[in-house]
């Protein structure tokens, strides 16, 4: 099979020749420090391009993607004209900080002496009222400059390669609200100020509806997977009351997923970290086809239980190895065995795409990364 045929078979719950492999996305990527260590181990040279400054993700070179038999390639929209999105260096509290202001007015910051990732340092709506939202300069999802040249790029990738084509992640409805409001304040709003929550959620939904209308107009007939997501759960379960999710957040997520599906035949991939089994039926009802990152190794996320309960209704994308307790610290031999065992659970009947749980973080030994992807190829083949 070609990479595209392989991935399409898997996400349609047919059995491919081997399990598809993913690397290089914005929730399935690699931290720039881990990437540099991997290049050093392999004896390769590459100019590191940061494709996501918040998570400090590097764009893997084609040589590495081929070495690891990666079946996916990514295409994204662009920054709108007039928005620079530049990182500025500022000194605060005796430390040098890398500050990035988003289109939404949120400021993300990373200390220069610990350049691992960025955290939110300014919530622009922290003190806003519901009435203030009418005057806030929300970004314009309709801006056509976001999509300039994207179709030509997608056509070229489709013509010149046989890889499955995925979008970068978007459709972040609930999380953008707390980025702007502040997490603690947003959680209080969910309990005490539903009017504010609904108005802000609707403004964010309107942006993403406009965005995908324009983006899918350009690439909807060319992409295979559209990636959206919001972290709904932590390692112990939902981050807030599921009744609130189902009343306030789910209807808006479902509206967006259904809107995207009206514009493209591509599968809808949804990202939420944590122990999310409680929400899988909701996501399926929303129209989600694929779940990522499948955070095994925490309560409620046993691979066998997930596959048995939901394996015919949703594709699992990730979950290849415990990213917290095994990948960073085990030996390559143990890595190999963990990957083999997880593949044996997730492989049957298709419906599985291999990757780590979320991004490969700084400090993960490069030999473990190699062992993980080599095992995915070795044990990923189906019986003829």
**How far apart are the C-alpha atoms of 294 and 323, rounded to whole Å?**
11
pLDDT digits (tens, 9 = 90+) for 343-377: 999 999 999 999 999 999 999 999 999 999 999 99
Beta pairing partners, 381: 18
* Domain membership flag for residue 140: yes
* Domain membership flag for residue 35: yes
* Domain membership flag for residue 52: yes
Among residues of the chain, what percentage have pLDDT more than 70? 100
Residue 51 tokens, joined: 């494709």
Rounded to 5°, angle at Cα 345 from 340 and 346: 100
Residue 2 C-beta-side C-alpha neighbours within 13 Å: 10
Average pLDDT over residues 188-194: 96
Question: How many separate domains does the chain show?
Answer: 1
**How far apart are the C-alpha atoms of 275 and 60, rounded to whole Å?**
29
Among residues of the chain, what percentage have pLDDT more than 90? 99
**How far apart are the C-alpha atoms of 86 and 239, rounded to whole Å?**
32
Task: For residue 348, count other CB atoms closer than 10 A to its CB.
Answer: 13
* Domain membership flag for residue 88: no
Question: For position 84, what pLDDT does the model report?
Answer: 87
Question: For position 284, what pLDDT does the model report?
Answer: 98
Residues 6+ apart with CB under 8 A from 149: 78
Phi and psi torsions of 233, nearest 5°: -135, 155
- CA distances 181 to 104, 106, 126, 171, 188, Å, are 11, 9, 5, 18, 11
CATH code assigned at 63: 3.20.20.210
Q: Got the DSSP string for 12-80? A: TT---SB--B--SSSSS-EEHHHHHHHHHHHT------EEETTTTEE---HHHHHHTT--EEEE---PP
Is residue 384 pLDDT above 80, yes or no? no
**How far apart are the C-alpha atoms of 168 and 323, rounded to whole Å?**
22
Mean pLDDT of the chain: 97
Extended strands (E) in the chain: 30-31, 50-52, 57-58, 72-75, 87-92, 95-101, 107-111, 119-122, 164-167, 225-229, 233-234, 237-238, 267-271, 290-292, 315-317, 352-353
**How far apart are the C-alpha atoms of 347 and 383, rounded to whole Å?**
11
pLDDT digits (tens, 9 = 90+) for 17-29: 999 999 999 999 9
The closest of 318, 333, 317, 340 to 365, measured between CA atoms, is 333
* Domain membership flag for residue 107: no
Is-contact 141 206, C-beta < 8 A? Answer: yes
pLDDT digits (tens, 9 = 90+) for 76-133: 999 999 898 899 999 999 999 999 999 999 999 999 999 999 999 999 999 999 999 9
* Domain membership flag for residue 190: yes
**How far apart are the C-alpha atoms of 189 and 262, rounded to whole Å?**
32
- By residue range, what is the domain housing residue 260? 3-82+125-379
Average pLDDT over residues 333-337: 98
Is-contact 384 50, C-beta < 8 A? Answer: no
* Domain membership flag for residue 92: no
Residues 6+ apart with CB under 8 A from 13: 312, 315, 349, 350, 351
pLDDT digits (tens, 9 = 90+) for 239-289: 999 999 999 999 999 999 999 999 999 999 999 999 999 999 999 999 999
Three-state SS at 256:
helix
């Amino acid at each position: 099979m070609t990479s595209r045929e392989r991935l399409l078979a898997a996400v349609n719950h047919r059995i491919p020749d081997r399990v598809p492999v993913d690397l290089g996305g914005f929730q399935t990527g690699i931290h720039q420090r881990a990437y540099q260590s991997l290049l050093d181990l392999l004896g390769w040279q590459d100019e590191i391009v940061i494709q996501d400054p918040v998570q400090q993700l590097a764009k893997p070179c084609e040589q590495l993607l081929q070495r690891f038999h990666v079946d996916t390639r990514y295409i994204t929209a662009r920054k709108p004209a007039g928005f620079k999105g530049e990182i500025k260096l500022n000194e605060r509290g005796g430390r040098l900080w890398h500050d990035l202001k988003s289109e939404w007015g949120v400021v993300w910051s990373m200390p220069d002496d610990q350049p691992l990732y960025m955290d939110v340092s300014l919530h622009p709506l922290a003190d806003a009222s519901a009435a203030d939202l009418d005057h806030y300069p929300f970004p314009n999802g309709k801006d056509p400059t976001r999509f300039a040249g994207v179709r030509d790029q997608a056509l070229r990738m489709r013509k010149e390669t046989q890889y499955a084509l995925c979008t970068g992640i978007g459709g972040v409805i609930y999380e953008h609200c707390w980025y702007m409001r502040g997490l603690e304040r947003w959680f209080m709003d969910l309990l005490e100020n539903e009017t504010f929550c609904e108005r802000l959620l609707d403004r964010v939904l309107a942006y993403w509806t406009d965005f995908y209308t324009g983006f899918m107009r350009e690439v909807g007939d060319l992409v295979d997977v559209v990636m959206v997501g919001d972290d709904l759960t932590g390692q112990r379960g939902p981050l807030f009351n599921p009744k609130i999710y189902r009343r306030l957040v789910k209807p808006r997520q479902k509206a967006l997923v259904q809107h995207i599906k009206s514009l493209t035949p591509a599968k809808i991939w949804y990202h939420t970290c944590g122990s999310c089994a409680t929400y899988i039926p909701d996501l399926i009802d929303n129209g989600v086809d694929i779940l990522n990152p499948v955070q095994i190794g925490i309560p409620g996320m046993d691979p066998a239980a997930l596959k048995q309960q939901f394996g015919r209704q949703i594709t699992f994308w990730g979950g290849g190895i415990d990213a917290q307790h095994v990948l960073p610290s085990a030996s390559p031999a143990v890595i190999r065995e963990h990957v083999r065992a997880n593949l044996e659970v997730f492989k049957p009947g298709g419906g599985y795409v291999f990757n780590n749980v979320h991004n490969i973080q700084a400090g993960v030994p490069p030999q473990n990364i190699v062992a993980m992807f080599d095992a995915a190829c070795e044990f990923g083949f189906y019986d003829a």
